[in-house]
Amino acid sequence: MDNRDIIFLMEDNTLLQEQLKETLEKNEEIKNRQITVFSSSSIELANVSYDALKLRIACLVCDSNMSSIGLDGGLREESEGGLFSGWLWLKEKIKDDETLAERALLYSAYCDELQGVIRQNSTLRIIPCIRKKTISSLENEEIIKEIVRIIKGG
């Protein structure tokens, strides 16, 4: 993972995105590894950036509840009004690169529902899901800890 120098952060809530990005950029482990945080506020923007950056992604961090705009065809209907849009987007990317499952992290207020779907596929089973309780109390410490574990390769 030495050539992977990007944390790809997908969060559509601007306040949370800025808060998490700032916390990541201040983390000593991330700074020492010279990892850049790239943030995307929508699936549409992520679609534009992902292909150019995919070989450099050390960790992909994704909120599962995002607008479904940018999802392919029938996936928009599967998104349950956006509740699982981020997860569905990530799942499609993992189909193209199964190693991404080892470098991905989901967070959601709907972890229980997601875990049931994730566990049905052995490749996707390894993706951690951290519970987001409310919009105002994102558990940055738990997310940061998991991201650092991922970028360390274990």
**Tell me, what amino acid is at 20?**
L
Q: By mean pLDDT, which of 14-23, 34-43, 133-142 is the weakest? A: 133-142
Q: Is the pLDDT of residue 47 over 50?
A: yes
Q: Is the pLDDT of residue 135 over 80?
A: no
Q: Tokens 């875990």 identify what position?
A: 115
Domain residue limits, the chain: 6-151
Q: What is the pLDDT of residue 108?
A: 83
* CA pair distance 16, 5, nearest whole angstrom: 22
Q: Is the pLDDT of residue 100 over 90?
A: yes
pLDDT band at 59 (very low <50, low <70, confident <90, very high): very high
Average pLDDT estimate for 36-63: 95
Of residues 105, 106, 111, 104, the one with CA closest to residue 133: 111
Task: Quote the CATH superfamily of domain 6-151.
Answer: Response regulator (3.40.50.2300)
Stronger pLDDT, 118 or 88, i.e. the higher one: 88
pTM: 0.88
* CA pair distance 15, 53, nearest whole angstrom: 24
Residues 6+ apart with CB under 8 A from 24: 7, 9, 30, 37, 144, 147
* CA pair distance 120, 122, nearest whole angstrom: 7
Residues 67/70/72/74 CA torsion (nearest 10 deg) = 30
How many C-beta atoms lie closer than 10 Å to residue 147's C-beta?
Answer: 26
Q: By mean pLDDT, which of 16-30, 65-79, 119-133, 135-149 is the weakest? A: 119-133
